[in-house]
Amino acid sequence: MSYSAIPKTYAAAFADASSSPEEAEQELDSIVSIFKIEPQFRDFFDTPSVKREDKEAVLLKTFQGKISEITLNFLQVLLRRGRFSFLSEIHEAVQEELDRKAGRVRAKVKSYPAMDEASLSKLREVLKERFKSEFILEASEDPSLLGGFVVRFQDLAIDSSMKSQLKKVRQTLLDSKLPVGVVYEN
């Protein structure tokens, strides 16, 4: 099994085993965010010199009674199989699996200036009509775009930025040849 297949395999098993996959995904989301904001906690689980039994004890003490049994069992399986380091990737794969089943698409939108909620809603509707899927938009501001926006999802990019349009104009001007003998005066 390749490393890229590991998160997808575990994500599919987790989604299938969960009675409420959306709830389980939210629990994983909370757990992954804890690992992101608490580097010492993450380092504890990433350190090979810490015994697996110690990691399991900390896992139980931290999460037992706070998350569902299926999610806790899943975390224990990841620990026992040496796959705990894939937790973030598994979480992303669970999101993708649930989105695929629900007909949703997650897209990243970069714009300058930042898009307000009305603009995002309109963009969401246009994307829904064009691609026949519900869209979950993750918006961020990128001053390097100079204006406009870029939407990225799956393997597609829709670039409507000023930066891109200026590059096209520049390339068109560079590609056009001036007639011989034409003199320009200032």
Q: What pLDDT digit, counting tens, does each position of 115-150 carry? A: 999 999 999 999 999 999 999 999 999 999 999 999
Using one digit for the tens of pLDDT, what is the confidence trace for 59-75? 999 999 999 999 999 99
Using one digit for the tens of pLDDT, what is the confidence trace for 84-120? 999 999 999 888 888 888 889 999 999 999 999 999 9
Specify whether 87 is located in the same domain as 116.
no
Specify whether 109 is located in the same domain as 168.
yes
Specify whether 75 is located in the same domain as 151.
no
Specify whether 19 is located in the same domain as 79.
yes
Using one digit for the tens of pLDDT, what is the confidence trace for 36-46? 999 898 899 98
Specify whether 49 is located in the same domain as 84.
yes
Specify whether 111 is located in the same domain as 91.
no
Specify whether 83 is located in the same domain as 20.
yes
- Boundary (domain end) residue, out of 38, 68, 100: 100
Report the C-alpha dihedral over residues 156, 100, 25, 124, rounded to 10 degrees: 50
What are the tokens at 145? 């775009």
Specify whether 93 is located in the same domain as 108.
no
**pLDDT for the residue numbered 9:** 92
Specify whether 13 is located in the same domain as 93.
yes
Give the residue numbers spanning the domain of 73: 4-100
What pTM did the predictor assign? Answer: 0.68
Question: Quick check: 186 pLDDT over 70?
Answer: no
